[in-house]
Amino acid sequence: MHLRDGLQTHPSVAQRYRHLVELGEIDSDPAQLAVAAALDRLIVEVASKRLAAKSSALGWLFGKRRDSATTIKGLYIHGGVGRGKTMLMDLYFELVPVRRKRRVHFNAFMADVHDRIQKHRQARKNGTVREDDPIPPVARALAEEAWVLCFDEFSVTDIADAMVLSRLFSVLFSEGVVLVATSNVAPDDLYRDGLNRQLFLPFVGLLKRQTDVMALDAARDYRLERLHNLPVYMTPLGSDTDRKMDEAWEAASHGFAEAPAEVTVKGRHVAVPRAAGPTARFGFADLCEKPLAARDYLAIAARYDTIFVDHVPVLAEARRNEAKRLILLIDTLYDQQKRLVMSADAPPQEIYRGKHGTETFEFQRTASRLMEMQSKDWLEAWAARHRADDSAVPFSQEASR
């Protein structure tokens, strides 16, 4: 054992989990312990196969390409938001004893796949590669880079992803890749109501053959408990407010890996500077100083249930365009019943200082909605909806086209 960030690193997920319980960072939950035990069994299988490969006279060959007949079945963990899926997978990723491993948000992985496919097609056009079909070489390259592949938030909403997954993962699994994935939905519910879903169903069968599917039905929604007492509107701007926003973000994003992301709208990409699970964080400039429209805000609301917005300034009449976008943003989040955490330089009714034009009247409604979105009734209603819907992943054709 050794210390890392002041915390002992243990040889098994279950031991590490129990240590976190002892530290008071989490509460023990039987459902989470069952998943920890399954992840530990998988670590033993991976370690045993790695040792066998090293001791084999053909270990160098075995290490590069694994016989599909001896492929290790991975683990697909599904359950509601806030149940601890990501935390457990991250413990597994840290402890699994292989160098060639990759932990990535599923959407980021698929963006990488599509980039590689496009590069292969260009290389084929230039005559520098011979294979016409880009998927097998792309999959082989991915398998060469990572034997153990961990996906956070496995959720298929894009038809371009859906159409390549079966062929891509057929090659990955034939190359011996071990998959561990977390998702809000069971495999049979992936890409539900998606375009041409019948073409996606072979992947569902493949996924169920190559992984053990395990539901994580933890007794409590730990994320909702962390969010319950968070402030949601902080003013005025300054270092103290920034610190409070960071504390709120840490609580809301705890247990999720943070990384930049993007939302695709009609072929355009809207950048999400900071994303962690179902939570996204933007600066005012990201959302209101760029030429975004209602469709963009709807796509963001469809992807995330909690939106952070930093540094909303007081807006004079000369900034009517930014005021219009802020009005549209708040209207969208309000209509979609999302949780908003915001820092601003003034209370809601004082943000827009214009005296003329429709924005003056419209912002009165926006200020009223901002105040309502801070209320106990609003936040409790949001939490109740979240508990009812946390196993559903909405499919937005508009956002995926």
Q: Highest mean pLDDT: which of 143-157, 253-267, 375-389?
A: 143-157
**Residue 317 pLDDT > 90, yes or no?**
no
DSSP at 349: G
Return the pLDDT at 255: 67
394 vs 255 pLDDT, higher one: 255
pLDDT tens for 188-240 read 988 887 888 888 999 999 999 999 999 887 555 555 566 666 788 999 999 99
pLDDT band at 21 (very low <50, low <70, confident <90, very high): confident
Confidence at residue 254, expressed as pLDDT on a 0 to 100 scale: 74
Q: Tens digits of per-residue pLDDT, 35-44?
A: 999 999 999 9
Please report, as a single letter, which amino acid is at residue 176: G
What is the pLDDT at residue 224? 58
Look at residue 297 and tell me whether its pLDDT is greater than 70. yes
Long-range contacts of 108-112 (CB under 8 A, 24+ apart): 108/259, 108/261, 109/151, 110/158, 110/161, 111/262
Q: Which residue, 81, 160, 74, 150, is CA-closest to 117?
A: 160
- Per-residue pLDDT, 393: 37
The pTM of the full predicted model, rounded to 2 decimals, is: 0.59
For the chain, domains (ranges, CATH) are 2-215 (3.40.50.300), 222-389 (3.40.50)
**pLDDT over 70 (residue 398):** no
Outline where DSSP puts E strands in 188-305.
Answer: 211-215, 233-234, 258-265, 268-276, 279-283
What percentage of the chain carries pLDDT values higher than 90? 44
pLDDT > 70 fraction of the chain, expressed in percent and rounded: 85
Q: Please, are residues 193 and 395 in contact by the beta-carbon 8 Å criterion? A: yes
Tens digit of each residue's pLDDT (9 = 90 or more) over 32-88: 899 999 999 999 999 888 777 666 545 444 444 444 446 799 999 998 766 788 889
Tell how strand 74-78 and strand 211-215 pair up: parallel
Amino acid in position 165: L
pLDDT, residue 189, reads 87
Say what the pLDDT of residue 355 is. 78
Question: What is the tens place of the pLDDT at every residue in 87-130?
Answer: 899 999 999 999 999 998 887 888 899 999 999 999 988 888 88
At 25, the pLDDT band (50, 70, 90 cuts) reads confident
Q: Note the pLDDT of residue 81.
A: 67
Contact 337, 306 (CB under 8 A): no
